[in-house]
Amino acid sequence: MNIYDVSKHAHVSIATVSRVINGNPNVSEKTRKRVLAVMEELGYTPNVFARSLGLNSMKTIGIMCADSSDPWLAEAIYYLEKELRGNGYDSILCCTGYLPETKKKYLELLRSKRVDAIILTGSHYIEAKPKDNAYLLEAAKDLPIMLVNGSLNGEQIYSTVCDDHAAVYDAALQLYRSGRTSVLYLYSGSSFSNLRKISGYRAAVKDAGYAIREELMVLCHKDLDAALERLDTLSRSGVHFDAVLASEDILAVAAVKYADKAGLKIPQDLSIIGYNNSILSRCTTPEITSVDNKVEALCTTTVNTLMKVLEMGNVPTKTTITPELMKRGTTDF
């Protein structure tokens, strides 16, 4: 069942059938209808492979993410897929894990599949050392690279980021303003986004008139038990804190559990702020004040930008989106 069969049955050439398929206006209404009728009758579907071969494009975008089961990334993927499909593009998904080598491997794989562009979802794709990002610049010579919540300068590289620095700065400052004196910053890695967050925290501490205390900046695994354990030992070792600002909601959940265990009242004895405004922030009692970093906006903006890029339009290289603090029961402001 191919274009030839249709052309025979409709008594036209394959060129005409092709024109009909592609909406070329240079076809008389009569022939168009006849061809369409035949296509319907035969249940004809164009062969995407042959079409791709001619056009050298699949109308497919590669989506890379570290781990599609991470709630934030899962939500991002949802919006990206939806938005892309709305624009007539398919998405092929790659969960790359967090290792640089596998990230590179999957990027190569997607390139070999001749996707029309690649979207890197989440802040784990930009490394601190420029040479570790070189492979992205290299890939961007062939196709557009879109960063969702990451930023990198380069030809054909487009970034859409949430202003994490401002979000954390603002959150921390509000904690100090509400009377806290020792805000613990709990974070889980050193991705692009995490670095920006930490710098926001540092700036806030200074602007609140305090000295930076390294022991209040605590790195731990993105895991409930690990974080709880970390807070426990920290407290036992004599470090005092009356607020926890976390780089991830799950860490904030751990802080709530820690307060429960230690008999601390929330938010009086311990204020807590999470990050991402995920469903996790709503499962605890009290519910957690959390920074909404606007996944949906990040994703739709990314896809919109990409569509303009593919249409050869002129587009901004970097778009910044403003996060918002969702106030709930773990803070008293």
Q: Which stretches of the chain bind DNA, using CB under 7 A?
A: 2-4, 11-16, 18-19, 21-22, 25-28, 30-32, 44-47, 49-51, 53-56
3-state secondary structure of 18: helix
What does 127 interact with, of a second copy, DNA, none (CB < 5 to 8 A by kind)? Answer: none
Regarding 112 and contact with a second copy (CB under 8 A), the answer is: yes
CA distance 71 to 75: 6
CA distance 328 to 274: 10
Q: Applying CB under 8 A, which of residues 145, 253, 291, 325 lies at the interface with a second copy?
A: 253
CA distance 252 to 183: 13
Q: Judged by CB under 8 A, which stretch of 70-78, 117-125, 185-193, 229-237 contacts a second copy? A: 70-78
CA distance 96 to 100: 9
CB 278 within 8 A of CB 326: no
What is the side-by-side order of every strand in the sheet holding 183-187? 217-219, 183-187, 243-246, 271-275, 289-292, 324-326
Min. distance of Cβ 79 from a second copy in angstroms?
Answer: 8
Task: Convert residues 261-290 into a mask of x (bound to a second copy by CB under 8 A) and - (unbound).
Answer: ------------------xx-xxxx-----
The 10 Å Cβ neighbour count of residue 91 is: 19
Q: Which residues of 124-151 are buried (b: 16+ CB within 10 A; e: fewer)?
A: bbbbeeeeebeebbebbeebbbbbbbbb
3-state secondary structure of 262: helix
259: nearest Cα among 249, 269, 250: 269
The 10 Å Cβ neighbour count of residue 17 is: 27
How far out from the chain centre does Cα 27 lie?
44
In the complex with a second copy, the residue whose CB is nearer, 296 or 332, is 296
Sign of CA dihedral 8, 14, 15, 19: positive
Regarding 94 and contact with a second copy (CB under 8 A), the answer is: yes
**Residue 76, CB half-sphere, CA atoms under 13 Å: how many?**
31
In the complex with DNA, the residue whose CB is nearer, 46 or 71, is 46
What does 285 interact with, of a second copy, DNA, none (CB < 5 to 8 A by kind)? Answer: a second copy
Regarding 74 and contact with a second copy (CB under 8 A), the answer is: yes
Task: Convert residues 14-43 into a mask of x (bound to a second copy by CB under 8 A) and - (unbound).
Answer: ------------------------------
Min. distance of Cβ 58 from a second copy in angstroms?
Answer: 7
In the complex with DNA, the residue whose CB is nearer, 54 or 263, is 54
Regarding 120 and contact with a second copy (CB under 8 A), the answer is: no
Token pair, residue 23, equals 């909406």
Regarding 111 and contact with a second copy (CB under 8 A), the answer is: yes
In the complex with DNA, the residue whose CB is nearer, 14 or 226, is 14
Token pair, residue 184, equals 């613990």
CB 148 within 8 A of CB 77: no
What does 81 interact with, of a second copy, DNA, none (CB < 5 to 8 A by kind)? Answer: a second copy
Regarding 48 and contact with a second copy (CB under 8 A), the answer is: yes
CA distance 156 to 232: 47
CA distance 191 to 126: 7
Regarding 224 and contact with a second copy (CB under 8 A), the answer is: yes
Q: Applying CB under 8 A, which of residues 53, 134, 212, 262 lies at the interface with a second copy?
A: 53
Min. distance of Cβ 31 from DNA in angstroms?
Answer: 4
The 10 Å Cβ neighbour count of residue 245 is: 31
In the complex with DNA, the residue whose CB is nearer, 57 or 268, is 57
Min. distance of Cβ 33 from DNA in angstroms?
Answer: 10
Q: What residues make contact with a second copy under the rule CB under 8 A? A: 45-50, 52-53, 56, 58, 60, 63, 67-71, 74-75, 77-78, 81-82, 85, 90-95, 111-114, 224, 250, 253, 256-257, 260, 279-280, 282-285
